[in-house]
Amino acid sequence: MILKYIKKHSILSISVSIIFSCTLFVFFATEVSYNVIEQASLWVRNYFGYFYLYLGLGCVLALLAIAFSKYGNIKLGKPSSKPEHSLWAWTAMLYSAGMGSGILLRAVQEPVYMQQNPPYTSNLPAETLALEFTFYQWGLTAWAFYGLFAMIIGYSLYVRKKKVRVSATIEDHIKNKTVKKGVDIITIITTVFGLIAAIGLGTTQIKGGLNHITESNLGLITTILLCIFIGSVACYSAWQGVNKGIKIFSKLNIIVTLAILIFVFVTSDMSAILVSFSKAIFYYIIDFIPMSLAIGSYDPGIEFLTGWTFYYWAFWLSWAPFTGIFIARISKGRTIRQLLLGVLIIPSIGTFFWFSVFGTSAFNLIEQWGVYNNQFNNVFSSIFVFFEHYPYATFLNITSIFLLISFLITSVDSAVFVLSMFTDNGSKDPNKTHRVIWSIFILLATIALVLLGNIKASVNVLEAVQRLLIITSLPFAFFIIIMFGYFIKDIKKIKTK
């Protein structure tokens, strides 16, 4: 019985075996694991770092070209079909899956860091440059990686009636079964590593918030318990499915996020925020291409790019498989133009305003202090320190912890659902056994990463994640080009108005 199940679901068996083996190795050889990751990531950054930049720019330009071309009229589904989900529900689900807790993690710390450490010399005020570069790292490029994947998978799923597998996008061009199975396995491994990185970072921030509120020093055990709790709730949500579990949590996330955003906005200098938001968007659009190429005066240097932009692009790439497929799964009934412009513009504008509100308000606080003593330097506690300067600080901090947990749950449950579709022969409604299996192994792998990040005082989760993602996303970065090439070849055969 077991052997028959393993043979039937070979992709699941192989993927889980690889992840489980890596997890065991990290558990029992943590120091060696970190050293291997560090050396491998250094090699990737030296030889392929700029490739990530060029790929990101290429994705943005390619998607805009397709969206405004005649191919943007192609509907994902029957010509008469209507969108399966409302714009509100669709936006809530794609944003919760695509960004999640990251916007809380970096809301204050990143704009302030960019203000205090400008990426390059500019005639712009430090505050405007800080927001502009933050927009760059969280804006169109990130969502272009997701949108490209969502478009190709959505077309394969709803137009060509293929199964929910990455290999389905190339199976008409590459017949070798081993190659196709290898593509699916690499995609799964990339997805899992990107997901556990987010959980590791998110739970560490939650622990930082708890430490700040309770003035205690909770440690590794607390982080692991948080991972177990989030993994368990996410498993239940994925078990319930898209409409009963994932959609409900996603809507809740957006409502709470908007409530926090509006509160901070109306209790801060609203006019200054709106001016900063407008200026930063204007210069972001003007400077987008030279920033994306890191040329001339827009080159921050290899050290800065390695620590920030290369890492971000690797992170977005590692999330592209499950986020893109999840977006494709909920986009039935929309045209390619609606999908691409919706994915590129709506979440980007929302993210830009978020960082403008928190970033500008933090800049004003620093100006009032006169001297900045790195109050917002800690990525895991900066937002909680920030809230201490607002009314109802304790309530805001508790609400933020709740939101962090909820965002992580929606990221994990959507990823578990997508991974289950991958391994259950491409089913759009995967077997619940697969959902449980992936929930368990993602939890084990996350705990392994947390241990890796706690190996010694000089190595934290963030550093471990940066090195890991640079490595695991590289094969997928090359594959996404191949996948896009075959997609263009296929849509050229369709007659469009």
CB-CB neighbours of 418 under 10 Å: 29
| Strand runs labelled E in 41-133 | none
Residue with tokens 């800080």: 130
- Measure the CA–CA gap between 477 and 47, rounded to whole angstroms: 14
First CA to last CA distance, the chain: 53
Tell me what pLDDT residue 1 has: 44
- Measure the CA–CA gap between 15 and 442, rounded to whole angstroms: 12
319 burial (CB, 10 Å; 0-12 / 13-18 / 19+) is buried
> Torsion angle of alpha carbons 471, 310, 274, 99, nearest 10°?
-10
Residue with tokens 């979440």: 347
What is the three-class DSSP state of 459?
strand
Tell me what pLDDT residue 495 has: 64
What is the three-class DSSP state of 456?
strand
DSSP 225-271: HHHHHHHHHHHHHHHH-IIIIIHHHHHHHHHHHHHHHHHHHHTS-HH
Instruction: Single out the residue of 317, 311, 306 nearest to residue 470, CA to CA.
Output: 311
Specify whether the CB–CB gap between 186 and 476 falls below 8 A.
yes
Stated length of the chain: 497
Specify whether the CB–CB gap between 104 and 204 falls below 8 A.
no
- Measure the CA–CA gap between 29 and 328, rounded to whole angstroms: 39
- Report pTM: 0.87
Instruction: Single out the residue of 441, 394, 443, 456 nearest to residue 203, CA to CA.
Output: 443
Tell me what pLDDT residue 118 has: 93
| DSSP bridge partners of 212 | none
Tell me what pLDDT residue 22 has: 78
- Measure the CA–CA gap between 42 and 48, rounded to whole angstroms: 10
Which bin fits 425, alpha (ψ -120 to 50), beta or left (φ > 0)?
left
Tell me what pLDDT residue 359 has: 95
**Residue spans of the chain under pLDDT 50:** 1-2, 457
Name the phi and psi angles at 320, rounded to 5: -60, -40
Q: Up-side HSE of residue 410: CA atoms within 13 Å toward CB?
A: 29
- Measure the CA–CA gap between 319 and 187, rounded to whole angstroms: 10
Tell me what pLDDT residue 437 has: 84
**Mean pLDDT, the chain, whole residue set:** 83
Specify whether the CB–CB gap between 89 and 354 falls below 8 A.
no
Q: Which domains does the chain have, with CATH numbers?
A: 14-491 (1.20.1740)
